[in-house]
Chain A
Amino acid sequence: MNDYLKFLGREAALGRLSRREFMGRAAAVGLTAPLAASLLSSSVKAAGPQRGGHLKCGLEGGASTDVLDPAKFTSQFCFMVGRNYGDTLIETHPTTGEALPSLAESWEASPDAKVWTFKIRKGVQFHNGKEMTIDDVLATLNRHSDEQSQSGALGIMKTVSSIKADGGSLVVSLEDGNADLPLLLSDYHLVIQPGGGVDEPNAGIGTGPYKVASFEPGVRATFERNTNDWRDDRGFAESVEMLVINDATARTAALSSNQVHFINRVDPKTVDLLKRAPHVKIQNTSGRGHYVFIMHCDKEPFANNDLRLALKYAMDRETLVEKILRGFGKVGNDFPINETYALFPEDIEQRGYDPDKAAFHFKKSGHDGSVLLRTSEVAFPGAVDAAVLYQESCKKAGIEIEIKREPGDGYWSNVWNAQPFCTSYWGGRPTQDQMYTTAYYSKADWNDTKFFRPDFDKLLIEARAELDQAKRKDMYREMAIMVRDEGGLILPMFNDFINATTNKVDGYVHDIGNDMSNGYAATRLWLTS
């Protein structure tokens, strides 16, 4: 009887048997109705993804300035649009973060990690029916390398000295060795377009699981399933609709009233209320993004490392995670890497709130008077509250913080990277190397703590080309300790990505790569009937 029921369940899951028929037959073999129903739902789950249906997403972050050109993707909305219609050469593993083949089938590096050869997948067609060739890949990468392109991936492509086609393979040469190149090519701007998108950057044509059906910037985008997709493990819905809902309350209301299946950026303040709805599931994923307080190491009074240490010890991290993130995040340890990165140095001692040590270092620094901290609501959600909490925890260590609230308009051009002490936000990067290179390398434009250390720079460049993972991990440990103990970074917390789905969809993958299941939410979710 048991096998027979399992068989029935499977048949029902595959759609060969209607729910009514299943219940009837199950009753015929003496099963009570509730038991039969629960059996049915578990069979359905076990049967895996289901195809068909219309998936609706309500997303924060769209504006009427959005475009389909991957080079100019800036918003969360565009990020997901790009993932729907296009593919990159490389993808990342949702839980380990390692590089996975996508449009590049396989790859290998020269021993010094300077020359990389990528084998490009064959038999993949663009949405316009044209076969993807190595010329398309070449043209795409060249377009993003162009100084005039305004591409968001320009920083990554700058390190490339030449890109060539060699038969069916792509040969990328770098100025300096970089063991992480495959991961860098997973950047969401580097969507492979026909002809590289040189002629029509905004065509919205790629190799992804969904074809763009309509796109109204700042309003809505709709997609049809690409029936010719080269992969069968994604793109389950028949059609997808993405609505721009920038108001947090409206987004939550749309989900609560079942008008959409998925929303991003749930406000931590209202998560507990949203949880009460029986059909809503909160999907929070550890992320690499972090909220920071940054000091310029080259400006008084922060040029003194004792003052920097005092301000680090005076940070009550647990309270900030609890109050600002409502528990949806983890404490930071004053270096910008957490356990979601490959080669994370686990054994570095966690810095805690220690008013005595803070007072000791503050006295030792010889600084007199208050310390001015600039903040604004745009730095990160709750930044002003966080500054006030910090002011309180500093007071217990005898350090007086003066808070100056700056206008949100122009904060990124006038305060961040310009003023010596302010609140800010960093999104994650695909690799440790990329994070350090972007924000802690002496010559980086965004070295926002003005951390100038020749020995750190040397280690960074050595580690980049090091293919021996054990050695590389040691190097990253050393660099982390330098930033933690001598840098200008106070990193109280890493924030989770908080999304939510209704119980009408399944298959959400917690991807450490980025928000919204690394942008793949719409391609990974399926509708349960």
Chain B
Amino acid sequence: MVQESGPAGTGRAPQGSLAAGLSGPSPANDSGAPSGRGGGLAALRRRMPLATLLAQRLGLSLLLLWAVSVVVFLGIEALPGDFAQTYLGQSATPQAVANIRAELGLDQPALSRYLEWLGGVAQGDFGKSWASGNSVTEQIGLRLGNTLFLAFWAALVSVPLAVGLGMLAVHFRDRWPDRLINVVSLGAISLPEFFVGYILILFVAVQGGWVTFPSTVYAGMSFGQRLEAIILPCATLVLVVLAHMMRMTRAAIISVMSSPYIETAELKGLDTLRIIARHAAPNAVAPIITVVALNLAYLVVGVVVVEVVFVYPGMGQYMVDAVTVRDMPVVQACGLIFASVYILLNMTADILGILTNPRLRHPR
């Protein structure tokens, strides 16, 4: 079966709505926490607010992961054609379809298939890919490693760059450096990422010949070679996520800059950069962390288009391949990993938000 792949389809903007339900940096409205009832729990919360929050969140996360698995399962069921039909594609004969269905138990009712899969997962067994017969855990191990490698380096470049540029923009507020930073980063985010990728390939790889392309990484490559291979996809991702974080840094710091204590600092005669870095930034950090977390999650779960364009063997492409043939064990495992990354990063953002804010750290 020949698969048409094109850089269409995936939404690029980090999905705020999912996070909004989970995060929100104030613990005062902890969803679902039975705070009114049970004096013991309330007492516990007062004494160890962070530990209780963490426990609650972890419990909720497990529930959420289960819900994700149900949604993914139902989603695959709702797609036209089952694994046997789509895997065989145009060459499906009734006999061949029946053979595959019997072999994989696809002739069972949906509920029992789901429970069987869930039972395996509860014991830590994600099963085998229906299409290739290989262990899902093993294959995902490789792909996830690649995805995290790319995401890590993209984050390492983009986060300090975005925060730094944001501070610089505040410093030169409404003057040309601020405008320049804004125009360039907003320009980069407005272009579709495959287009940014193609432009980089055209000028840097084809005409310049300065970097390696395609960016395929494989076993046996040295660390240096890997780094060299991911230069272009990394640059594309940085351009794509930069604006969001930079704008948030700028906005958060500007809102703090109008506070009376900043005025005091100014009156003390401190220079602006020092005020921004030492006095304003720490108080603006919570919203910045939230946006950074969202973008980090995006770097892990939302980069399938970049993977396709740069021929990078990450999780996204793996999941798309699996969805095209309805390879349920693989899709489920990928879905759960993506959901876990999202949940984990959002939780981290919340906790960091609380830690950096003394008022939230010691609630009355």
Contact = CB atoms under 8 A, between A and B. Distances in A.
B133 interface: yes
A67 B95 contact: no
B214 A64 contact: no
Contacts of A258: 209
B90 interface: yes
B17 to A, nearest CB: 25
A250 B213 CA distance: 9
B327 interface: yes
Interface string B249-262: 00000000000000
B5 A247 contact: yes
B218 A220 contact: yes
A254 B214 CA distance: 6
A243 B214 contact: yes
B331 to A, nearest CB: 12
Contacts of B216: 219-220, 243
Interface stretch (B56-64, B149-157, B305-313, B335-343): B305-313
B318 interface: yes
Contacts of B327: 65
Interface stretch (B37-45, B77-85, B106-114): B77-85
A436 B105 CA distance: 35
Q: How large is the interface on B (under 10, 10 to 19, 20 to 34, 35 or more residues)?
A: 35 or more
Contacts of B6: 247
Nearest to A448: B90
Contact of A410 (B80, B96, B214): B80
Contacts of B35: none
Given A61-B2, A76-B2, A253-B206, A216 B131 contact: no
Given A218-B313, A378-B4, A65 B325 contact: yes
Interface in B107-152: 129, 131-134, 139, 142-143
Contacts of B198: 249, 253
B92 to A, nearest CB: 7
A250 B129 CA distance: 28
B75 interface: no
A476 interface: no
B7 interface: yes
Given A150-B100, A378-B4, A413 B86 contact: yes
A378 B4 CA distance: 7
Nearest to B129: A65
B90 A412 contact: yes
B91 interface: yes
A137 B277 CA distance: 75
B201 interface: yes
Given A65-B129, A67-B133, A256-B206, A250 B311 contact: yes
Contacts of A60: 2
B23 interface: no
Interface in A322-381: 377-378, 381
B4 A445 contact: no
A257 interface: yes
B119 to A, nearest CB: 25
Contacts of A245: 214, 311
A3 interface: no
Given A243-B311, A378-B4, A219 B218 contact: yes
B10 to A, nearest CB: 14
A216 B321 CA distance: 14
B69 interface: no
Nearest to B202: A253
Contact of A216 (B81, B219, B311, B324): B219
Interface in B314-363: 317-318, 321-322, 324-325, 327
Nearest to A414: B80
B15 interface: no
A147 B103 CA distance: 13
Nearest to A377: B4
A106 interface: no
B80 A63 contact: no
A455 interface: no
B91 A214 contact: no
A217 B80 contact: no
B3 interface: yes
B31 interface: no
A499 B324 CA distance: 26
A407 B206 contact: no
Interface string B196-239: 00100110011001001110101110000000000000000000
Given A410-B80, A413-B92, A61 B3 contact: yes
Given A66-B132, A152-B91, A257-B205, A147 B214 contact: no
A409 interface: yes
Contacts of B283: none
B11 interface: no
B99 interface: yes
A74 B89 CA distance: 9
Nearest to A378: B4
B131 A65 contact: yes
B267 interface: no
A412 B308 contact: no
A75 interface: yes
B93 interface: yes
Interface string A409-423: 110111010000000
Nearest to B7: A247
B1 interface: yes
A377 to B, nearest CB: 7
Contacts of B87: 65
A66 B134 CA distance: 11
B311 A259 contact: no
A412 B321 contact: no
Contact of B214 (A66, A259, A408, A412): A259
Contact of A64 (B209, B218, B311, B318): B318
A415 to B, nearest CB: 10
Contacts of B321: 63-65, 218
Nearest first, the 3 closest Cβ-Cβ pairs linking A and B are A410-B80, A65-B131, A410-B81
Given A155-B93, A249-B201, A254-B311, 10 more contacts: A61-B2, A64-B322, A150-B100, A202-B133, A216-B142, A216-B219, A244-B311, A249-B309, A253-B198, A378-B4
Interface of B: 1-7, 79-81, 85-87, 89-96, 99-100, 129, 131-134, 139, 142-143, 198, 201-202, 205-206, 209, 212-214, 216, 218-220, 308-311, 313, 317-318, 321-322, 324-325, 327
20 contacts: A60-B2, A65-B87, A65-B129, A65-B325, A76-B2, A148-B99, A214-B218, A217-B134, A217-B139, A218-B318, A220-B218, A247-B6, A247-B309, A250-B213, A250-B310, A254-B311, A259-B205, A408-B4, A409-B79, A410-B81
